[in-house]
Structure formats: C-alpha cells, structure tokens
Amino acid sequence: MSMTIEDCGRVRDGFPRPFPNTPSNVLEQMRLNGKVVVVTGAADGIGYAVSEAMAEAGANVALWYNSNDIAVQKAKDLAATHGIKASAYKVNVSVAEHVQSTVAKVVQEFGKIDVFIANAGMAISKPILEQTLDEYHKQMTVNVDGVVYYAKYAGEVFQRQGFGNLIITSSMSAHIVNVPVDQPVYNGCKAYITHFGKSLAREWREFARVNIVSPGFFDTKMGASPQTVQEAYRMSSVGRQGHVKEIKGLYLYLASDASTYMTGSDVLIDGGMDTTLCVISLQGRWEDIPMCLDLKGSDE
C-alpha cells in the first residue's frame, strides 16, 4: 500500500543531504587534476580518445589493453604531452584474476581509483542460428563478465575509499534491435550491462556514481562494417558515423564534478540514429519506416 500524504511529509533524519562542495565555474568543475582514471580497451578507438580526454583534463590515467601493445607508447606520449602520470597494463578482462590483480596494481601504483571506465568490448555479429556457442561465450566473457569483474573489484576499492565513479560503455544496440545485421548476442550483452549499471547506481548510492554511455556507430574497428556502413550513414540523422573526438566531452562530463547530480543514467550518443524516429524527423521518408521495423511488405 502506498504512503499517505501525511506519511510522506514526515521529516527524516539526514535529509536533505548537503550540496557537493564543487566549484560553480563549469570549466573548473571539469578539471580532473589529481584524479586517477582507469580506461579499459584503451589502446585505440573510443577508449584511447577517452584516455586522451582524461589526460587533457589533468587526470592520471591507467590504460588497460589486451593485445594492442601500442598502448604502452601511447601512455608514455600522454604523460609527456600533458604532464600527468600514465601507464599501460596488459589485462584480459574476461579473466577475473587478471582484473582483480590489475585493479590492485593500479591502486598500489596510483594510490586510488577515482573513475573506472568500463569500455573494452567485442562483437561477433551473426544471427543466433549461425553463431557457435563458443562465439556466444566469447562475447559474454568480455562484454558481460568483464563488466561484472570490474564492478566487483573496482567496486570494493570505491567502497573502501568512500568515493568512486563507474562509467560503462554500452551501445545503442542495448536500446534498439540494430539493423541490418542480426546480432542478438551482442545486443543482449549490451542490454545486460546497461541495466546492471543502473542497478549498481542504486546499490552503491552511499559511495559511488554509475552511469552508462550508449554510442551509435563510431568510426573505429568496431564501428560499421563495410557491408553495413551505407545503412549506418542513411539511418543516422547526421548522415555519417561519429568521430571519436565527438565522444570525449561526454565521458569527461560524466567523469568530472560537472555531473555530480547524475547517477543511474544512460546517455545515447548516436547521431540521431534511433530505428524509426530518425527517419521520420529528418528525412520524412515514411515509406522507409516498414523497412526499419523489419515489416517490409506488411500493411501494419
């Protein structure tokens, strides 16, 4: 039974909580000097652009990579260019012990973790009837298990510290059934981590914030494939994929004190690609809507 208005009006101890002691100047809010940020999948693509954003804002950065050891040189370059501390760590995020030991190593070498950016991911984009169970497990271990392991081990650090900030790279594919390639496992992995992240935001409400970024197509190794890129251009309201420099500001906002009132949020950044709405709003091509909904030939 819901509460009465009188019950709801009862003053409760400890509320309202104080506003955060942060600068009022928005550019100062976005400075990350002295903060420690971990970025997974940091050698290239979205993860490297985000690492660069963190370093540009003054943070010390731990770049996690798996196979692309260019991350080692990129960490050195970031440190030299921005006068911050940056190191690269080789970690297979689908192995719990690697995640646990590397979280501990980062804390030992950097002293703390302010922000953990759970960005590593992979896709084997196929219909379920063509996908092997090995391919299914591989996607689950990186895209889902990896995020659960960060949550466990970085979450323990956040709880111990009394502060922390987890940002999860999900996907527009957590919101929509992406077209034209059928990839239910990848879509399902991303939907899992989006809802997992929202759930963590509540669980960790006393000590850490958790938010989700849901990108549309970005021009990286995991962006639209040659077979799908034309459709990616057509479906996007801006007629192209995103450049990774266009996502840096969003992660910086979420990592910084500019977003202290934001937790449990899922931010779409997809160039206006949202199954049907983009077609209606930008191009007004009503005849394309059945195709977007995969109802071609239907009168619905």
Ligand X SMILES: NC(=O)c1ccc[n+]([C@@H]2O[C@H](COP(=O)([O-])OP(=O)(O)OC[C@H]3O[C@@H](n4cnc5c(N)ncnc54)[C@H](OP(=O)(O)O)[C@@H]3O)[C@@H](O)[C@H]2O)c1
Binding site for ligand X (CB under 6 A): 40-41, 43-47, 65-68, 91-94, 119-122, 142, 169, 171, 215, 217-218, 220-223
Give the list of residues 6+ apart from residue 268 with CB closer than 8 angstroms, or none: 172, 175, 214, 216, 274
* C-beta of residue 64 within 8 angstroms of C-beta of residue 113: no
CB of 172 to ligand X, least distance (A): 6
Give the list of residues 6+ apart from residue 237 with CB closer than 8 angstroms, or none: 271, 272, 273, 278, 281, 282
CB closer to ligand X out of 111 and 180? 180
CB of 229 to ligand X, least distance (A): 10
Q: Mapping DSSP to helix (H, G, I), strand (E, B) and coil, where does residue 267 land? A: strand
**Residue 89 annotated as catalytic:** no
CB closer to ligand X out of 119 and 165? 119
CB of 51 to ligand X, least distance (A): 11
* C-beta of residue 260 within 8 angstroms of C-beta of residue 279: no
CB of 222 to ligand X, least distance (A): 3
* 2's tokens: 């819901």
Nearest to 229 by CA among 273, 198, 261: 273
CB of 223 to ligand X, least distance (A): 4
CB closer to ligand X out of 131 and 169? 169
**Annotated catalytic residue within 171, 214, 236, 259:** 171
Q: What are phi and psi of 37, to 5 degrees?
A: -120, 130
CB closer to ligand X out of 107 and 213? 213
**Residue 171 annotated as catalytic:** yes
**Annotated catalytic residue within 35, 74, 190, 248:** 190
**Annotated catalytic residue within 48, 150, 186, 253:** 186
**Residue 186 annotated as catalytic:** yes
Residues designated as active site: 171, 186, 190
